[in-house]
């Protein structure tokens, strides 16, 4: 079985992880740039997945 967290669970995880993200950006050389590249890549991948789902549903 594949568990998919609800939107509220995803939001709770994001809030709980925020201090880790802040630490990473402040303490890793190039952390801000790396973090932004990662989050941009995730957003692009999610956009591609959502577009594919929308196309499949039609």
Tell me if the pTM is above 0.85: no
The CA distance from 35 to 28, in Å, is 10
Write the pLDDT tens digit of every residue in 33-54. 999 999 999 999 999 999 999 9
| Residue partners of 25: CB distance under 8 A and separation at least 6 | 31, 32, 35
pLDDT at 58: 83
Write the pLDDT tens digit of every residue in 1-20. 999 999 999 999 999 999 99
**Residue 55 burial class via C-beta count within 10 angstroms: exposed 0-12, middle 13-18, buried 19 and up:** exposed
């Amino acid at each position: 079985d594949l568990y998919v967290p609800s939107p509220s669970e995803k939001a709770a995880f994001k809030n709980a992880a925020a201090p880790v993200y802040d630490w990473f950006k402040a303490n890793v050389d190039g952390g801000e740039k790396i973090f932004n590249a990662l989050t941009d890549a995730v957003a692009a991948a999610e956009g591609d997945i959502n577009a594919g789902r929308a196309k499949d549903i039609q």
